Structure 1
């Protein structure tokens, strides 16, 4: 995050920062609350709940962490009490962006069918469960992000292979085989973004000058967190104020490089590969006298739409991104005797809508949407009723001087502090 670069190969993203608060993950929620009250802008969380299949290296055995009798670990995609708590922390501190590792559960296939495995009994202790039956799921499908990695108001990061020659096309972005993917139980897009997480050289705790190569979403996430701090630092230098966390998150999503097999978001790469140079360029352009890119922060308090008229430059397509800090949802209620429960209830509270209208033709452009019932399908366009991020992109908007109207509206009277709006 902030390594000064005594070893120049291990210079941190925000290498000029002077202070890092470091904790273990015990008591993390109370520590996050206290630090946020003191003005914390960014935190990194390179850890996740163990879920599904897990190989215990100390005991040299495969363990299945699902509930007794279940064949799928219900914590994948689950919005539980911890998920609610993380959303609550973020909601209470609107400039504080929490960066969270999505997890490394994908492709942990567990013991081979017929081999010995261990699982929890009703008392929560691991016991020898004998030969693994064929019916227990692997972790190699969709929905492999557990519990609080599914929070709405945080930045959940997946890991991809490095791109030594630099990004040129979506095919350059290759997902790490371990990186957990979405959707959440209710179909929201997770991870939000991806970053390099393979063989990353970093400082380690073995010595003051210790370094090692490591892989995981735990390596991709601090790069994202340290980079997001640079955006806050840069914006502060220009405006003497900080951005809302939803604006930073929206800005990173807005400027991400395309990844995946089809345009738009997906449940593997989220909104794409982080591109900090493009994100910083938006802040630069927003501060210029003649703006071709803009950052707007606002608050909706009714169902009346907020509208903004923009003029196309003709140099690049028109597109806009909306991101808001949503009211925490209620944790899932898990039936006492319901095996393989899926937490499918919609978690979005303030349902905002983004659309762009071509003022010359009246054509309306809608945001990207994914179908959680067909998670491998390409993104389409329509009414997004699940995510607190919406993005509208126009491919046919290169006529200089053509005017467009961007509309931000809430379906319901906003609850709590209302929706915090962002657009570029």
Structure 2
């Protein structure tokens, strides 16, 4: 987990039964309320990381409980591991990662391997796939999960860390005493929770206005806003790791069941002057049934920003649905981005989540406009299309060039420099050529013996 100064962390202990299942508290609220109600909001838990779950792909009573807890505590964000059943194919994400309001986290590879493994722009082969049984997009987002190195615990002494002497325990290495390396969405989820904590700190400390601490007003964000910022900056993957050394990676599509919105990228999520690539703007409001809120956006690259896209992401936290629901969305909001000319005439309309029209299934929507030019004008619209309640709160985030000083690139990084697939092809060609040479050599020997 990414940590910052003065971070408060609360832990829960679950009992592991002989069959390796977990014994959970009877009430989900007992799990989720841990660390809250301290009397000091700055010390209360606002983010919950759950690296556990079941195999049921439908919307369960537990998913409903998680959704209701977030709805009643809108400053709270729950992140849940999508699961490690990706090799089973579609619909392998399991409860409570099937909940609506939570952030369901899948895994991608961590680093490229000299032995021919695929790098960090590829979905991990084990990462569970969506959609949910009622057709919603899951996982929502991806983070590194194969492999992550962390401090090792002493299994014989609960609450104690490995002092470096437990090299005989599983996943330990004599070359890195006290550390262990593991793979799974259980690793990706706390990594994403750390990113969520940094975003919350970013907002509370008022970095958002000019990209420096205190340049803007302190914001006490909703869980929906933190979630929206993470999802808005997420970047699409190159493919899915096939889990083997040979063969090509499987293809991915934008917003598909493998990757959702893509991998976490704080570089593309927040504005830090002269450090990151985008500026952001955000709003929290409530729209009435049949109502409409509009936000005017003008692309301004005068400050040196050269980011090519305008992104807009809408997230709302709504009440839990009935367990087993076939259509689980209760309040249907819609996001559109419209490009207009100087007279306000519509030139083009962009819809969210890779669709050619409204998204009637998910409560997180993102629209991306590419190749924006200085002076381009857009209208971002949030509509209360079909609500069961009178009003629905929401958070909307926009990113792009809005006049601030941003960098076009922060230098090379593991994602932009990921040439692992090309290297793997080169290795495979080399191996294949070597095998072919050996076979030719054997064939020649056999021929010579026959002639004799």
Cα drift, residue 34 of structure 1:
5.1
Paired position in structure 1 for 2:333: 352
Partner of 1:362: 346
Query: C-alpha separation between the residues in 2 aligned to 1:185 and 1:284?
Result: 43
1:161 pairs with one of 93, 109, 115 = 109
1:88 has 2:68 as partner: yes
Question: 2:357 aligns to what?
Answer: 382
> Which residue is 1:54 aligned to?
none
Q: How does 1:319-334 map to 2 (within 5 A)?
A: 319-332=311-324
The CA distance in 2 between the partners of 1:330 and 1:416, in whole Å, is 20
Contact 2:296/2:380 (<8 A) preserved = yes
After TM superposition, the score normalised by the length of structure 1 is 0.71
Distance 1:201-1:34 versus aligned 2 partners, 3 A rule: closer
TM-score, with length taken from structure 2: 0.67
Assess, with a 3 A threshold, how the Cα gap between structure 1 residues 94 and 48 changes in structure 2: closer, same or farther.
same
CA distance in 2 between counterparts of 1:319 and 1:84 reads: 30
1:89-168 matches, within 5 Å, as 89-107=69-87, 140-163=88-111
- CA-atom RMSD in angstroms: 2.4
Query: 1: CA distance between counterparts of 2:370 and 2:149?
Result: 39
CA displacement, residues 201-257 of structure 1 (integer Å, 9 cap, x when unaligned): 112321424421111100111000011101111211113332111111111111112
Q: Could you list the per-position Cα deviations for residues 273-295 of structure 1 after superposition, in whole angstroms to 9, with x for gaps in the alignment?
A: 101232232x769xxxxx95311
Give the match's secondary structure for 2:380. Answer: strand
Q: How many residues align?
A: 325
Structure 1 unpaired stretches of 5+: 2-12, 52-74, 108-139, 286-290, 333-342, 370-378
Matched, 1:276 2:250: no
Larger Rg belongs to:
2
CA distance in 1, matches of 2:107, 2:184: 6
Q: State which of 382, 386, 389 in structure 2 corresponds to 1:412.
A: 386
Q: Distance in 2 between matches of 1:322 and 1:36?
A: 27
Aligned to 1:79: 59
Distance in 2 between the 1:102 and 1:417 partners?
30
The residue that corresponds to 1:33 in the other structure is: 33
1:149 partner SS: coil
Counterpart residue number, 1:136: none
Q: 8 Å contact 2:270–2:279 — kept in the other structure?
A: no
**Conserved in 2, the CA contact under 8 Å of 1:365 and 1:394?**
no
Is 1:229 the equivalent of 2:210? Answer: no
Q: Matches of 1:416 and 1:81 in 2, distance apart?
A: 25
Q: What is the CA-CA distance between 1:412 and the residue it aligns to? A: 2.1
What's 2:50 paired with? 45
* Secondary structure in structure 2 of the residue aligned to 1:280: coil
Tell me if 1:267 matches 2:242.
no
Residues of 1 paired with 2:346 and 2:290: CA distance? 22
